[in-house]
Amino acid sequence: MVTPSQAPEAVSPARFRLLLAVLVTAVVVSVMNNSIVAVLLPQIRADFGTSAAAVGWVVTGFSLAFALATAFFGRVSDVFGIRGVFCLGLAIFVAGSAVVALTSAIPVLIAARALQGIGAAAIPALSSVTVARVLPPGRRGLAFGMLATGVGVGQALGPVLGGVAAELAGWRAPFLGTVVLNLPVLLGAWRTLPGRDTEPAGSWRDLDVFGGLLLGSAAALLLVGVTQVQAVGPTGASVWGSVLAAVLLAVAFALRIRAATQPFAPPSLFGNTGFVSASAVGFLALFGFLATIVLVPQMMSGLNGLGSGQVGLVLTPSALAVATLSAAAGRLSDCIGPRVLVLAGLMSLSCSALLLSTIAGGPVWVVATVMVGTGVGLALVISPAMNAAANALPQSQSGVGLGLYQGAIFLGGGAGAAVLSAVVTARAGAAQSWNPLHQGLGVNYSDGFLVIAAVVIVAMLVATRLPGRPLRAAGPVDEATPVPPCS
C-alpha cells in the first residue's frame, strides 16, 4: 500500500464551512439536474415530435460525455490546480444547461446534454479532490459524507421539483433553474477553492492528453456496450464490438502509461491495493444500488400499476436514508476505519436485494420499507469507501486517483442498470424463479434482484481488503484544522 504523504493547505474553519457549502450545493444541483431528466423525457419527445430512440440520446449523450471526462478533470487538476479547473467544468455545465433550455432542435439538445455531461464530470471528481487537498487523513470522512448527502438530496428532490416545475412552466424550466442556481455557486467556487498559487505549476506537456483520451474512450465504449445489452441482447454485434474496442483501448492505455515520460496515471496507482480495493467496492456497490433503483420503478409500474408520482414516493425512503446517514458514516470511518462500515453497508444492500427478490410483486408498502435498507446500505458504503480511496493516495496522485474512483462508481451504476434490465427482459415469461422463496408474479424481477444480491456479496469479499483501522496523518497536524479529531 502506498503511504500517503499529504501536505494539506491551511484553511480556516470559517472558510472551510463556506467551501463545503459551495461543493455540496454544486453536487446537489448537478445530481438534481440529471435525476429530473427521466421525468421530463415524455414532454421533450412530444415537444420535438421525435422518436423514442432519438430522445434516448438525451440521456446517453450525457452519460458518455461524463464517462469520457471524469478522470480527465481529476488529472488536469493535478497539473493546473483545482480552482480554475472546477470553475471551468461548472461553467461548461451552466452553458450546456442554457443551451438545453433554449434550443428548438433535437440534435442541438443532444449535443448540449453532452456538453452538460462534460461539465458535470468535474463536480464530483474535483469536490472529492478538494477535500483530500485541504484535510489530512483522519479528518476527511465528514466532508466526504456531506458530499454523499448532496447526492442523496439531489436524487430525492430532482424528480419531485423537476416534475412540479415542468407541470407549471414546461420542461425547459428546470434547466433554466440550473443556470440561475449555479451562477452564485460559480462565484463562490472561485473565491473559496484552492488556487493554482497554492499548488505546483504545470503545463500541458505534463498532462498526457493522448493517454487520457485512450482511458476516457475505453470507459465510454464500455458504457455503450453494456447499455446495448437490453436493446440487442448479450450476443449482439454492437455489444461485443463496443466491449472489444474498449478492451483494446484499455490495453493501449496500459502500454501508454508505461512508455510515457509523464503518464496520465502512474502505473503504481493500479498496484495500490487500498485504492484498487476501494474503487472495486464502489463499482460493485453502485452496480447493485443503481440496478435496484431502476428495477423497482419498472416492477412497481408493471406489476402494481403505480404511476410515476407514486413510484417516486416508493423510492423516496432510500434517497432520504442516503441523505440522512452519509455524513455520520463518513465521520465514523475516520474514527473506526472504513472496513466495518462498508461491510455493514454491503450486508444491508445484499439483504435488501434478497428481500426484494422474495417479495417481488408484493405490497407497495413492504417494497418501500425494504428500500430504506437499500439507502442505509449505500450511505454506509459510499463515503467510507471514498475516504479509504483518498487515504490510500499520495498527494501527487489525488487528482487522477479520485477522478478514476468517481469514474469507476459512475460506470458501475451505468453497468448495473443496463445489465439488470437485460436480465429482467431475458427472464420475462419464466415459470419458476431462481429464488425458491418467491411465489406468484414477477419471476423476472425476483431473478434480477437475486443477481444484484450475488454481485453485492462479491463486493463484500473485496471489502475485506480495506483498512480495518483508522488512518492518521503521517506528520503533525495543526489542531486548528476545520474538522476536529475523533475523541
Per-residue pLDDT band for 486 (boundaries 50, 70, 90) equals: low
Domain boundary among 217, 248, 264: 264
* Residue 50 burial (CB count, 10 A): 16
Do 247 and 347 belong to one domain? no
Percent of the chain with pLDDT over 90: 30
My answer on whether 252 and 366 are in the same domain is no
Assess if residue 200 is contained within a domain: no
Q: Are 9 and 132 in contact (CB under 8 A)?
A: no
Contact between 198 and 81 (Cβ < 8 Å)? yes
487 in a structural domain: no
**pLDDT of amino acid 371:** 92
Angle (CA) 338 340 342, round 5°: 65
- Whether the per-residue pLDDT at 9 is higher than 70: the answer is no
Q: Residue 200, Cβ neighbours under 10 Å: how many? A: 12
Residue range 126-163, pLDDT digits in tens: 998 888 888 877 778 888 888 888 887 887 677 777 77
Q: What is the mean pLDDT of the chain?
A: 84
pLDDT score for 307 = 73
Q: Are the beta carbons of 366 and 310 closer than 8 angstroms?
A: no
Domain endpoint, select from 193, 218, 246? 193
pLDDT (tens digit per residue) in 40-75? 877 888 888 877 667 777 877 888 888 788 888 888
Note whether 232 and 274 are same-domain residues. no
Q: How far apart are CA 109 and CA 82, in angstroms?
A: 29
pLDDT tens, 446-475? 999 999 999 999 999 999 999 877 765 544
Cell digits of residue 7: 501536505
Q: Is the pLDDT of residue 30 over 80?
A: yes
The C-alpha atoms of residue 14 and residue 165 are separated, in whole angstroms, by 35
pLDDT of residue 226: 81
Cell numbers for 358 = 422474495
Residues 6+ apart with CB under 8 A from 20: 143, 146
Q: From CA 34, how far away is CA 120, in angstroms rounded?
A: 9
Mean pLDDT computed over 255-261: 90
Q: Span 172-194, mean pLDDT?
A: 90
Same domain, 152 and 163: yes
Asked whether residue 281 is domain-assigned, the answer is yes
Is there a single domain that holds both residue 246 and residue 272? no
Phi/psi region, residue 438 (left: phi>0; alpha: psi -120 to 50; beta: rest), is: beta
Considering only residues 281 and 479, tell me which one the structure prediction assigns the higher pLDDT. 281
Work out the average pLDDT over 198-208. 62
141 in the same domain as 72: yes
288 and 148 in one domain? Answer: no
Predicted local confidence at residue 309, as pLDDT: 67
3 lies in some domain? no
CB contact set of 440 (below 8 Å; sequence gap of 6+): 361, 362
Which of 18-27, 32-41, 439-448 has the lowest average pLDDT? 32-41
| 442 and 361 Cβ atoms separated by less than 8 Å | yes
- Domain-ending residue, one of 246, 264, 282: 264
350 is a domain residue: yes
Q: Which amino acid is it at 317? A: P
Radius of gyration, CA atoms only, the chain: 21
pLDDT of residue 196: 57
Q: So what's the pLDDT on residue 474?
A: 47
Q: Judge if 361 and 424 occupy the same domain.
A: yes
Let me know whether 167 and 139 are in one domain.
yes
Q: pLDDT: is 311 or 394 the higher one?
A: 394
Overall average pLDDT of the 328-339 stretch:
90
Range of the domain at 374: 265-471
Tens of pLDDT, residues 276-297: 999 999 999 999 998 898 788 8
Among 17-21, 163-167, 180-184, 398-402, the minimum mean pLDDT is found in: 163-167
How many structural domains are present in the chain?
3
- One domain for residues 101 and 123: yes
Domain membership of residue 476 (yes or no) is no
Which range scores top for mean pLDDT: 51-60, 190-199, 360-369?
A: 360-369
Express each pLDDT in 78-121 by its tens digit.
Answer: 888 888 999 999 999 999 999 999 998 999 999 999 999 999 98
Is 480 a member of any domain?
no
Q: Say whether pLDDT at 423 is over 80.
A: yes
Co-location of 270 and 259 in the same domain: no
pLDDT at 8: 52
- DSSP letter for 9, please: P
Determine how many CB atoms are found less than 10 A away from the CB of residue 484: 11
> Does the reported pTM lie above 0.95?
no
Percent of the chain with pLDDT over 70: 90
Classify the C-alpha dihedral 144-148-333-2 as positive or negative.
negative
SS3 235: coil
Tell me, yes or no, whether 389 and 300 share the same domain. yes
Distance CA 409, CA 401 (A): 13
CB 106 within 8 A of CB 54: yes
Predicted pLDDT of residue 199: 52
The predicted structure's pLDDT at residue 5: 41
Query: 311: domain CATH number?
Result: 1.20.1250.20
Q: What angle do CA 269, 275, 276 make, to 5 degrees?
A: 85
The predicted structure's pLDDT at residue 483: 60
- 255 and 262 in contact (C-beta within 8 Å)? no
Cα–Cα distance measured from residue 154 to residue 29, given in angstroms and rounded to the nearest whole number = 7
Greater confidence (194 vs 445) lies with 445
Q: Is residue 324 part of a domain?
A: yes
Largest distance between two CA atoms of the chain: 65
- 487 exposure class (CB count in 10 Å sphere: 0-12, 13-18, 19+): exposed
Give yes or no for a contact between 22 and 189, defined as CB atoms under 8 angstroms apart: yes
Quick one: three-class SS letters along 34-64?
A: HHCHHHHHHHHHHHHCCCHHHHHHHHHHHHH
